[in-house]
Amino acid sequence: GARRLHTIMEKLLEDLSFEASEITLEKITITPQYVEEKLATIAKNKDVSQFIL
């Protein structure tokens, strides 16, 4: 549900959020490769119970 989506989005954007004050770009493009890189550990994890309420 929504909480699970929030958790995934938070994981996806955590580096950008942390570095936001240092980024001078007006636009950031999230590519499929970026998503795969950031969520690889979640996608490979057979036990995703931490993301399920």
The model's pTM: 0.62
Residue 53: the pLDDT is 47
Please give the distance of CA 39 from its chain centroid, rounded to a whole number. 6
Annotate 16-53 with DSSP letters as a single string: HHHHGGG---S-----HHHHHHHHHHHHH-S--GGG--
Over the stretch 5-53, which tens digit does the pLDDT of each residue have? 888 899 899 988 888 788 887 888 999 999 889 888 877 776 665 655 4
Residue 49: the pLDDT is 57
Parse the chain into domains and list their residue ranges: 2-51
